[in-house]
Structure 1
Amino acid sequence: MHATTPVNVKQLKSELMNHPDKHFVDYLCNGLQYGFDTMVKYDNIKTMECRNNLSARSQKDTVADLINKELLNGFVYGPFEKLPFDDYRVSPLGVAEGKYSFKKRLILDLSAPHNDTNVSINDLIDKDLCSMTYVKIDDAIRLITNYGKGTKLCKFDIQNAFKICPVLPNQWPLFCFKWESLYYFYVRLSFGCRSSPKIFDNISTAICFIAEHNYKVKHILHLLDDFLTVDPPEFDAERTMALMTMIFNRLNVPLAANKTMGPLTCIEYLGIVLDTDKLEARLPANKVERICKFIISIIQKSTCTKRELLQLLGHLNFASRVIVPGRSFVSYLIKLSTKVKELHFYVNLRKEARVDLEFWLRFLHNWNGINMFYDCNYTSNFDMQLYTDASSTIGYGGYYQGKWFCSTWPKELPSLNDKSLSMAFLELYPIVVAALLWGKEWKCKKILFLCDNEATVAIVKKGRSKCIEIMKLMRQLTWCACVNNFQVTAKHIEGRKK
């Protein structure tokens, strides 16, 4: 028995002949030919068999069908009455179901055993070695904004992603499972292994290099197995589609036909609809509805589990891909999720959490799911002829392109004991008033407020403050930015330079 892969390693090596990093090329090609080191660090593995998870035990027909497919595809070897290894680890099987696609996937739970003195396979893999930087939807939007209306997009998706990568044969004993009293083991990277994304991503990175340097595909992005190409409106993007398809075919890297499409001016990438004719990003209406329902289910509770809170954060982080100013309204919830260790432990949903959730609910209920693309670069408030100022003894005011406002401080103004917070509140106040008055004219703008108060700058950049009164202002500013489709940040300047 030896490592196998569908990838044409000889062709891959040829395509990477001019790659500047020879170590990378050797690592990738040798890994595909002989098997990848999964980064599990151990001297000897103690034989241990874990019980399958409930999600597998309760769906026997589904599991049997999924195992059969893994066998037919060559991802798994078996069945065996006795494993051909002296020492091995049998990890639990589980079934993961797509939240909305309902597609079922076999998972090898390599984080088991849980709450046990015995370490899991994933415990033996260094997290730091598996850390990655992922492409963001903002990266695609930036390219589209540069090219303008009618930018052409093509999308590609590798089928069975991780499972085109073989595992070193001497590590097969680490990836065993048991079903109906018979043993099996994975010979390809499995879903559930901490190092699988990092190892697989090398293939995607190599494909991007080949496309860019060998075939002059100018702009290509990828997140693991998802690829997106971006071409100018006047460019023959059919050429890009043909070249990319040829690259995948030559390398014998299988594509998912139902997820490969283009060239188009409206395409869904990373769950967000990118419309280059309208220059807008959209959250599909059904996803907005789901997020609202989840928030409502949480906001009615006085406590929730860490698992529920993390699920909620997943929804809000997804929405924040489009609602950029809303990103500041997940930071408190993230901090709250760290208060307890186990997923089944409960956290208290205090007032600050509820206020943030009410913000999200209010906005999502009043929002059509559409956000226009922001300008690529920030414009300073000075360049916009936008000025605000405040005096603790007199009042506050603002000016914008010939329009202005000024007023004395209202009598009900809160008294802040901390001098730095007090000044930050006063500086922020006219900025919020300006946004409320003129925000409709700032559509798609990314505004950089130059300010000589460091506390104000820090608050505007983070979008949050520990001070309740300042947070009231920040929520007003964030709401205004979301509704009117602009962004704000701040930069400190010395007072004399202002």
Structure 2
Amino acid sequence: MQSPFQTAPLVEHATGLMRGEFVMELVDTPISAVSVSKVILSPTATRIKQQTDQMRMDRPEILKTQLTYNDLQLLQPNLNKCKLPTPIKTDRLKFHLQGYDSEKTLYLLNGFKNGFRLEHNGPRSQFNCSNLKSAKSNPLIVQEKINKEVNCQRVMGPYLEKPFLNLRVSPLGLVPKKSKSAWRLIHHLSYPDKKSNSVNAGISDESAAVHYAGIHEAINEIKQLRSHKYQVFLSKTDVRSAFRILPVNPSDYELLGFKWNNKFYYDCCLPMGCRTSCKIFEEFSTALEWIALTKLGITSMVHILDDFLIIEKSKEDAICKLKAFVNLCEDLGVPLSAEKTELPSQVMDFVGITLDVIKQEARLPPDKITKCRHLLEKFSHMKRCTLKELQSLIGVLNFACSVIQPGRAFLRRMINLTMTVSDGRTVFENIPSCSTQTVLSSTSIPATELLEYVTILANAALAPSTRATYSRAWKTFDSFCTEIMNQSLQPPLSVATISLFIAYMFKKSYAPSTISTYLSAIAYVHKMMSMPDNTQSFLVEKLVTGTYRLSKTFDSRLPITIPILNKLIQSITLVVKCTYDQVLFKAIFLFAFSTFSRVGELVTSKKCPK
């Protein structure tokens, strides 16, 4: 495999090395060149070769995973003539992005052509460290993954010496994937401290800020199509090695160094551990979604980072549009994961949540429920835990709250507890008796089952008639979003949005009482989700008052005439069975008619004391 770096000056560089040493043939190595077949090695290189040969004899088991000595990069790379390692075809991307935001288009095209900057503004100085324990404990797995990245030209190396004067070496680590036998290689760019003296510490919060779509966007898109009586079918796909298709600008290579088996490497693509990786990829995936919706005519699509969900009106449309999207990605050079691509169905797992179109529900898959149960059971018997362990538990439960929304109320005190400290090694004592007791208390009933009862009780809080009214309110709000806002809006709703909704209903001639009821529906949802309720703001209250003042109200009650009075008196015997009460009501009716009295002047609204 030939290196992406041009090594034409190799002969000139080699003449600077000490002469009289042995000569090594170069065949298909990363420093091969068309016009060069030999390189003179220095005495240092000679000793290293001897040490390497001895290591092969002592540890033959590493020969299958380690690169050979001939593969060592002995010269510094020529960054001025490097070819960026990305499968994306910029000419096709430029073609498909016609009509897209010009500034974002330029950013993406420039990034794929020249590499994306990490937005690092901190000091650039050399730094050395050892790898994490997880990597040291699994050397064969780490070496295999490094070899794979080198073969794909996404990692450059190995080098006997630092390829850059200010190469910053950050540790490698391994984290398990969902499959117990699979591992993910991470580059710990927050080492030794995410707030100072690390690569990520030099990246500002603004540069790393990113907003993702959520599972609720997918739910709302499904509800929108279901409201129009469509069957709705879902299909999905996933970008393979998402961050690794985005090249890094060569000027930032010196920030992405690592060391393995006393040899140096550096990353040429966005690593998993960089703060800006998610934001940069989100820019690309958002553009990809825009192309799919605009150029392919896909009815609805929701993406969350590298996961894409296609929502269509029928199974035939879903198959057709999934095929079109796969062809688009092939044209652009975007690699898709075949094992994570699923054909249309009405029940599908998306980012860990089961979306069931038939039952019209979003639920946790069985494996997620099992994980929650095991964690809760484990913590209920723990007397102490670290901040990181508690944060991990909160993360799992918070994810569950995306579909079990009343559960957020039980997490608040746990979250507040973590905000009092910043050191991940901080130990919390007496876990079941602290502020986490609500969730972690050990009883005969599993905590997750109690959360299910919380949902049942919350649903039972509304009378069927009230639920139907609130449902009509949100359908009206959906119509408002479609007609006026041209987008789907989710809580929390701003004062401005609620104000426009009031004006929309008033323009549609809704009665003031109906407007007030529909605002109650909005307030109810916000309160159930522990979100700020802007329906109680001063402006909203005044707008509602205005609807009452400006609405033309007519008294539909007719005056009581003698014929109507006679009918009322005759109907008393049909309604009231007690003879005494019949005489009493007849006397009241006649007296009120003769004296023009009001009801409040003759009877009291309060119950008589016993």
Query: Which SS does the other structure have where 1:147 is aligned?
Result: helix
Q: Is the 8 A contact 1:337 1:347 kept in 2?
A: no
Matching of residues 393-404 of structure 1 within 5 Å: none
State the one-letter code of the partner of 2:235: C
For 1:243 and 1:457, locate their aligned partners in 2 and report how far apart those are by CA, in whole Å.
Answer: 38
Distance 1:125 1:54, change over 3 A: same
| Equivalent of residue 233 in structure 2, options 152, 160, 172 | 152
Q: CA deviation at 1:144?
A: 1.2
Query: Which SS does the other structure have where 1:274 is aligned?
Result: strand
Aligned to 1:78: 157
| Equivalent of residue 257 in structure 2, options 134, 155, 176 | 176
Q: Which has the higher strand share?
A: 1
Aligned to 2:448: 364
For 1:460 and 1:152, locate their aligned partners in 2 and report how far apart those are by CA, in whole Å.
Answer: 30
Aligned to 2:313: 232
Distance 1:10 1:379, change over 3 A: farther
Q: Is the 8 A contact 1:266 1:277 kept in 2?
A: yes
| Equivalent of residue 6 in structure 1, options 82, 87, 92 | 87
Q: CA deviation at 1:68?
A: 1.0
Asked if 1:354 corresponds to 2:432, the answer is no
Aligned to 1:330: 411
Asked if 1:59 corresponds to 2:138, the answer is yes
Query: Which SS does the other structure have where 1:89 is aligned?
Result: coil
Q: CA deviation at 1:239?
A: 1.3
Aligned to 1:105: 184
Aligned to 2:167: 88
Asked if 1:340 corresponds to 2:421, the answer is yes
Aligned to 1:125: 203
Deviations 1:241-279 (A, max 9, x none): 111011101001000100011211111101111121222
For 2:173 and 2:160, locate their aligned partners in 1 and report how far apart those are by CA, in whole Å.
Answer: 21
Asked if 1:274 corresponds to 2:355, the answer is yes
Query: Which SS does the other structure have where 2:163 is aligned?
Result: coil
Query: Which SS does the other structure have where 2:436 is aligned?
Result: helix
Asked if 1:492 corresponds to 2:575, the answer is no
Q: Which has the higher helix share?
A: 2
Query: Which SS does the other structure have where 2:302 is aligned?
Result: strand
Q: Is the 8 A contact 2:194 2:200 kept in 1?
A: no
TM-score normalized with structure 1 length: 0.74
Q: CA deviation at 1:154?
A: 1.2
For 1:294 and 1:128, locate their aligned partners in 2 and report how far apart those are by CA, in whole Å.
Answer: 34
Q: Is the 8 A contact 1:164 1:188 kept in 2?
A: yes
Q: CA deviation at 1:450?
A: 8.5
For 1:356 and 1:33, locate their aligned partners in 2 and report how far apart those are by CA, in whole Å.
Answer: 51
Aligned to 1:138: 216
Q: CA deviation at 1:313?
A: 0.8
Q: CA deviation at 1:201?
A: 1.3
Aligned to 2:118: 38
TM-score normalized with structure 2 length: 0.61
Aligned to 1:320: 401
For 1:283 and 1:79, locate their aligned partners in 2 and report how far apart those are by CA, in whole Å.
Answer: 45
State the one-letter code of the partner of 2:436: A
Q: CA deviation at 1:457?
A: 11
Distance 1:461 1:281, change over 3 A: closer
Aligned to 2:297: 216
For 1:231 and 1:457, locate their aligned partners in 2 and report how far apart those are by CA, in whole Å.
Answer: 28
Distance 1:338 1:52, change over 3 A: same
Aligned to 2:530: 462
For 1:186 and 1:385, locate their aligned partners in 2 and report how far apart those are by CA, in whole Å.
Answer: 58
Query: Which SS does the other structure have where 1:144 is aligned?
Result: helix
For 2:463 and 2:102, locate their aligned partners in 1 and report how far apart those are by CA, in whole Å.
Answer: 42
For 1:191 and 1:382, locate their aligned partners in 2 and report how far apart those are by CA, in whole Å.
Answer: 48
For 1:34 and 1:47, locate their aligned partners in 2 and report how far apart those are by CA, in whole Å.
Answer: 24
State the one-letter code of the partner of 1:336: L
Query: Which SS does the other structure have where 1:51 is aligned?
Result: coil
Deviations 1:12-48 (A, max 9, x none): 00111211x2111111011011111111114x52111
| Equivalent of residue 289 in structure 1, options 370, 375, 395 | 370
Q: Is the 8 A contact 1:461 1:490 kept in 2?
A: no
For 1:27 and 1:88, locate their aligned partners in 2 and report how far apart those are by CA, in whole Å.
Answer: 27
- Structure scoring higher RCO (CA < 8 A, sep ≥ 6) equals 1
State the one-letter code of the partner of 1:23: E
Deviations 1:181-224 (A, max 9, x none): 11111000111111111111111111111111111112111111
Unaligned runs of 5+ in 1: 387-445, 465-488
Q: CA deviation at 1:139?
A: 1.0
For 1:303 and 1:105, locate their aligned partners in 2 and report how far apart those are by CA, in whole Å.
Answer: 29
Aligned to 2:273: 192
| Greater Cα offset, 172-181 or 141-150 | 141-150
Query: Which SS does the other structure have where 1:191 is aligned?
Result: coil
State the one-letter code of the partner of 2:248: V
Identity between Structure 1 and Structure 2 (%): 31
Distance 1:208 1:228, change over 3 A: same
Distance 1:223 1:335, change over 3 A: same
Distance 1:461 1:176, change over 3 A: closer
Q: Is the 8 A contact 1:328 1:462 kept in 2?
A: yes
Asked if 1:254 corresponds to 2:298, the answer is no
Unaligned runs of 5+ in 2: 6-81, 471-517, 549-610
Q: CA RMSD in A?
A: 3.5
Q: Is the 8 A contact 1:460 1:490 kept in 2?
A: no
Q: CA deviation at 1:129?
A: 1.6
* Paired residue total: 405
For 1:204 and 1:167, locate their aligned partners in 2 and report how far apart those are by CA, in whole Å.
Answer: 17
Q: CA deviation at 1:163?
A: 0.4
For 1:215 and 1:357, locate their aligned partners in 2 and report how far apart those are by CA, in whole Å.
Answer: 49
